[in-house]
Amino acid sequence: MKRAVRVGTDEKLVLTANRLLDGVIVWRDRLGQWRPHIGVAEKLDAEQVAPVLELAQARAQADGVVGVYEVAVKDVEPPEPVTVRERIRAYGPTVHPEFAVETVQ
């Protein structure tokens, strides 16, 4: 079943997945590459995400990722996930800053 993603004013969508090799959370950039930093994620309008998502899901196994889906983000640099769940996935555990992920590399 497809998740319902609501896109508000000044929000975009980005694609995320988990890398099969090691389970690392990855984000799709504008070149179609999966990168471990949300700062390089391609921001898409709600109207343009469907074909990009469909292609990414079809290529998931070949690209070495699993669980591809879209995430609503604030349209800022770097993109900031709207939900707490996705902020934790993007920036790391909430227990100690030492374990946080850099936003851009």
Q: What type of residue sits at position 32? A: G
The whole-number average pLDDT for the span 11-15 is 97
Judged against a pLDDT cut of 50, whether residue 95 lies above it is answered with yes
Dihedral sign of CA atoms 66, 68, 73, 78 in order: positive
Q: Please tell me which residue, 62 or 96, carries the higher pLDDT value.
A: 62
Q: Which pLDDT score is estimated for 8?
A: 81
pTM of the predicted protein model: 0.86
Residue-level length of the chain: 105
Closest CA to 35 of 65, 74, 79, 3: 65
pLDDT tens for 22-62 read 999 999 999 999 999 999 999 999 999 999 999 999 999 99
| pLDDT for res 4 | 61
Question: What pLDDT, on the 0 to 100 scale, is given for residue 7?
Answer: 84
